Amino acid sequence: MNKELKKVLSRDMFLSSIAEKIEAGERITISEGLQLYESDNLSALALLASEKRKRINENFVFFNKNFHIEPANICVHNCRFCSYHRNVNDTDAWDYGIGEMLEICKKHYTEDISEVHIVGGVHPGRNLDFYCDLIAEIRKAFPALHIKAFTAVELDYMINRANLTLKEGLHKLKSAGLNSIPGGGAEIFDSEIRKQICHKKSDADTWLEIHKTAHELGIASNASILFGHIETYLHRLNHLEQLRSLQDETHGFNAFIPLKYKNFNNDISEIGEVNDMEVLKNFAVSRLFLDNIFHIKSYWPMLGKNLAGLALHFGADDMDGTIDDSTKIYSMAGAEEKNPSMTTDEMISFIKKLGFTPVERDSLYNKRNIFV
């Protein structure tokens, strides 16, 4: 434990016993996590989370070179927190065919781009074969590109519609060229909260079972949480505990992404948004609680660059990617980054100015370049 942290904790005995457990590499409990959430000592939380991050990832901050495809914003669900959903006949709906999505790939792809990230609405008119054909065509045209695609909610719909088991459906997608799956759709696992904000969406058990099955098939994934709406700290911690338990079993999660609820143009806009201090506290507690998920992602298109940079001092170690203005999900929800794009040089400079060592990674966190 460094001198600065010892000094801060000497004035806060409330956190000192938890800090001793973390220092010893012991797992903290839900009740201890609740104490961390309820603490007003942001300095201590930042220092504790930073110590934990350094132990896992030294001074590195990771990023990759990627772009997004969002096949459609047409969705069978209409979650109350969502600003992205549109119906088929809405004037601002879009619905790309496979050829159009290949053109998006051609527009953004260069030899140093390592990943395409594909998520969208749960489209009522698309089936598993359509998405397998999409993956296969991208794989054929861009054989070196890592394809990370489809949230568990999308997968649940397309696999059920095909009358296949999860294992059969995921195996079919993997055979077509799917490499990994993103962490979206988790929202909050608590069933009562889900009834209030996304009652038609796949439930928590289904989300967890899809990721478990993917891991068993050698398909890595990410995990996420949507926080800052009507949930409590205890709801967040129970969510984290279920992720931690699954990771103990499968070791298949690459990264965890805390996603802040944005209140623009959706059905629960009246509740407002949590402030930046609450966002940073959530990053710190996530880093300290999730002792077996090695990377915490500060998703800058949603947070904005400044807040995403601050989160690196509260336990985050990953900035996602360069993105190249290829996602609308959070800009439609009122995110600060209306046209999210950073060049590699901009990303490197941004990370260095914050005092960290930038590392370009691939989708599985293998280091490609370290920029000292």
pLDDT at 338 over 60: no
Q: How confident is the model at residue 200 (pLDDT cuts 50, 70, 90)?
A: confident
Residue 171: what pLDDT? 98
| Interval 171-192: pLDDT, tens | 999 999 999 999 999 999 999 9
Distance CA 48, CA 7 (A): 12
The domains of the chain are located at 3-52, 53-370
Residue 263: what pLDDT? 73
Residue 330: what pLDDT? 42
Residue 99: what pLDDT? 97
| Interval 63-114: pLDDT, tens | 999 999 999 888 877 766 666 657 777 777 889 999 999 999 999 998 889 9
| Interval 131-167: pLDDT, tens | 999 999 999 999 999 999 999 999 999 999 999 999 9
Residue 74: what pLDDT? 87
Check if CATH label 3.20.20.70 holds for domain 53-370.
Answer: yes
Average pLDDT over residues 285-305: 95
282 conformational bin, left if phi > 0, alpha if psi -120 to 50, beta if neither: alpha
Higher pLDDT among residues 228 and 4, named by residue: 228
Residue 322: what pLDDT? 86
CB neighbour list of residue 29: distance below 8 Å, 6 or more residues apart:
none
What does the block give as tokens for 12? 């806060």
> What mean pLDDT, rounded, does the chain reach?
90
| Interval 23-38: pLDDT, tens | 898 999 999 999 999 9
CA dihedral (188, 238, 118, 266) in degrees, to 10, reads 20
For helices 3-10 and 13-23, what crossing angle results, to 10°?
Answer: 150
